[in-house]
Amino acid sequence: MAETSPAPLVDGARTEPVIKLAAARKTYKTGSIEFEALRGVDLSIAEGEYVAVIGPSGSGKSTIMNILGCLDTLTTGEYLLAGENVEELDEVELAAVRNRRIGFVFQQFHLLPSLAAWRNVELPLVYAGVPKDERKARAIAALERVGLGDRVDNKPGQLSGGQQQRVAVARALVTEPTMILADEPTGNLDSHSTEEVLGLFDELHASGRTIVLITHEHDVAARSGRIVHVRDGLVQDENQGAAA
Amino acid sequence: MNWVETLRTSWFAIGSHKMRSALTVLGILIGIAAVILTVGLGLGTQKDVSSQISSLGSNLLIVSPGSSTSSSGVRGGFGTGSTLTQADAAALGSKVNAPDIKGVDAEKSSSLELTAGSANWTTTVVGVDPSYLGVRQRTLETGTFLTAQDVSDEASVIVLGSETAKELFGYTGVVGQSVTISSQTFQVVGVLAASGSNSTSNLDDTALVPMSTMASNLVGGSSANSVSTVYLEAANADALPAAYQEAKSLLLTRHGITSASDADFTISSQNALVSTATSVYKTLTILLTGIAALSLLVGGIGVMNIMLVSVSERTREIGLRKALGAPPGAIRNQFLVEAGTLGLTGGIIGAALGVVAALVLPGIIGSSIEVSGLAIGLSLVVAIGIGLVFGVYPATRAAKLAPIDALRTE
């Protein structure tokens, strides 16, 4: 584990993990057909960790992403996010948890094309109820953080793929979330832009951010501190990545 | 998310689809303008009719021969009988028999041709009493009116309506001129001031002669003593019911009729005429407003349609906003405000259009349109209400979208 992590030590041991999945099961029902996407997953992620979840399509990694991102709930099992039992929350509380705790980075960027970069970045702050002036200042600071300080007024269409994904990362950062959850963030990018975005993740990790990256590419996963292999709805094994 | 942000987001969404939003607004706009205009036209027409009827004279009772309600047997239709006589009119004028009747004007009318020089004109020639001016609330433009002396002398004098004078002479200052009716020469002694016209008969196209002259020289024969209408003026508006009762019982007695339902005459009042006309126009207004309201309903369905398109078009945006922490309520409000804004915009423009049309149209179609502040206020409320009501379903659908499904939509 990289010791750049600022996680405090209590009695020589790490604090409670910031993310904890215990005996997590998820069953999808389509008519009479049941499909077990997760079949008892245990996963703990400590603060400051950079974890890659890797697996082929159909392995259950997207389900893990949805569960970790509070976009979906478990059939059975437990999900603790920063000590909070997410399974007990209703839709409105889940929205608040997503807003406060999680910064999403999606494969398709998911920027609103009609809004300038800084307007896109301030969106989560709008739902957090942050006052207008503070929102703009924080959005611009986040864009500067990802190296787009000179692009704040550009609309997504005027930016390259790598720049768009960096705007999305700025949007994920702006609320100071507990975890940055990236779903195939380089899936739509060329190798140059991929390096741009992964380099940014390296920097964020170095400054103490908790990052969970879902991918099917081994060389992307290798940049993380810990690689979790998922297959057939189960965690198969774990090994250290380059950042460890 | 506060309301300012919700409004800003909704405005932005409307602004980014200008053509579509404009067409949606158009549906509401037409509906609102139509409602304002039809209601205004209805109210205006009602007012026109009331004032026209009132111009006949206030505190007025109109006695016509014949009966409009036939209970049994054969009876002459309304206005066809010749059961009212000059003697009846004289009796009604008695202060002893009918203390609440202030003035009586018996009239006997016939359509006759008037000739003056080379001009001729057919109009309603009416035999009247000297009380005509007071009872019918008319004034003279020039000259003098028929006198009691004229009546007793069966004098060949005539008072012309202003339009009749213009038709015959081209101008109204015609006192002293003479006109010929049925080869008898009449001297013009006065011209009536214009009163405006009503819907059934033109009060300015008429010619008045003494009742006695009319009866013996113009329409003689068996009907010489009958009159076509007796106008009664009550002492004041409060005395109208009493005057009605007095006239009715007096005439029943004089005609030897015991049951009121067998009466061979009809007494109607201004109020009855006004309320009949008003109820007719009210029905018409309700009908037209109903049609206009239907167009408003169609406009509302247009709003719902566009909002549904908007929701499915922006599924990914909704998913993203939810992932970023928008609670369902914020999404619902966003679409509700969007729909309400479309409705309100249509309402404001529609109301403005309606008011402008209400100012311009009367000059073209000739009937007045009365637009009240209440109608405008109500239609704005209705417009925003329609936006909201028809926005509820699309907005709820948007709020219920699951963020994962919404995000995956391509």
pLDDT-based confidence at B75, cuts 50/70/90?
A: very low
d(CA A20, CA A22): 6
Three-state SS sequence of chain A: CCCCCCCCEECCEECCCCEEEEEEEEEEEECCEEEEEEEEEEEEECCCCEEEEECCCCCCHHHHHHHHCCCCCCCEEEEEECCEEHHHCCHHHHHHHHHHHEEEECCCCCCCCCCCHHHHHHHHHHHHCCCHHHHHHHHHHHHHHCCCCCCCCCCHHHCCHHHHHHHHHHHHHCCCCCEEEEECCCCCCCHHHHHHHHHHHHHHHHCCCCEEEEECCHHHHCCCCEEEEEECCEEEEEEECCCC
- To test the contact with chain A by mutation, choose from B324, B407, B409, B410 the residue with the greatest count of A C-beta atoms within 10 A, namely B324
pLDDT for B129 beyond 50: yes
Neighboring chain A residues of B12 at a CB cutoff of 8 Å = 114-115
Q: Looking at residues B84-92, what average pLDDT do you find?
A: 84
What is the pLDDT of chain A when averaged over all its residues? 88
pLDDT for A209 beyond 50: yes
Helical (H) or strand (E) element with B188: strand B184-192
Query: Do residue B327 and residue A171 have CB atoms under 8 angstroms apart?
Result: no
pLDDT for B327: 92
ipTM: 0.88
Nearest chain A alpha carbon to B8: A126
Neighboring chain A residues of B314 at a CB cutoff of 8 Å = none
pLDDT for B156 beyond 60: yes
Neighboring chain B residues of A99 at a CB cutoff of 8 Å = 324-325
CB-nearest partner of B328 from A91, A115, A171: A91
The SS3 of residue B131 is: coil
Q: Looking at residues A224-242, what average pLDDT do you find?
A: 86
Number of Cβ within a 10 Å radius of residue A99: 25
d(CA A32, CA B379): 52
Neighboring chain A residues of B1 at a CB cutoff of 8 Å = 126-127, 129
B84 token code pair: 């009212």
pLDDT for B69 beyond 50: no
What's the Cα-to-Cα distance from A53 to each of A100, A214, B14, B244, B405, rounded to whole Å?
22, 5, 41, 100, 21
pLDDT for B201: 59
pLDDT for B2 beyond 90: no
Query: Do residue B324 and residue A112 have CB atoms under 8 angstroms apart?
Result: no
* Residues whose CB is less than 8 angstroms from the CB of residue A61 and which lie 6 or more positions away in sequence, other chains included: A53, A54, A55, A214, A216, A230
Nearest to A214 by CA among A25, A31, A60, A76: A60
Q: Confirm whether pTM is higher than 0.90.
A: no
Nearest chain B alpha carbon to A119: B9
- How much of chain B, in percent, has pLDDT values that exceed 70? 91
The stretches of B71-207 forming alpha helices (DSSP H) are 86-92, 132-136, 148-153, 162-169
Nearest to A181 by CA among A206, A209, A208, A219: A209
Query: Do residue A114 and residue B12 have CB atoms under 8 angstroms apart?
Result: yes
- To test the contact with chain B by mutation, choose from A98, A133, A155, A181 the residue with the greatest count of B C-beta atoms within 10 A, namely A98
B195 token code pair: 């009163």
Distance from CA of B301 to the nearest CA of A (A): 27
pLDDT for A31 beyond 90: no
Query: Do residue A114 and residue B329 have CB atoms under 8 angstroms apart?
Result: no
pLDDT for B63 beyond 60: yes
- How much of chain A, in percent, has pLDDT values that exceed 90? 69
Q: Are B407 and B319 in contact (CB under 8 A)?
A: yes
- To test the contact with chain B by mutation, choose from A70, A81, A91, A180 the residue with the greatest count of B C-beta atoms within 10 A, namely A91
Least confident of B52-66, B88-102, B145-159: B52-66
pLDDT for B410 beyond 70: no
Q: Are B221 and B161 in contact (CB under 8 A)?
A: no
A131 CB within 8 Å of a chain B CB: no
Condensed to tens digits (0 to 9), the pLDDT of residues B223-235 reads 677 888 888 888 8
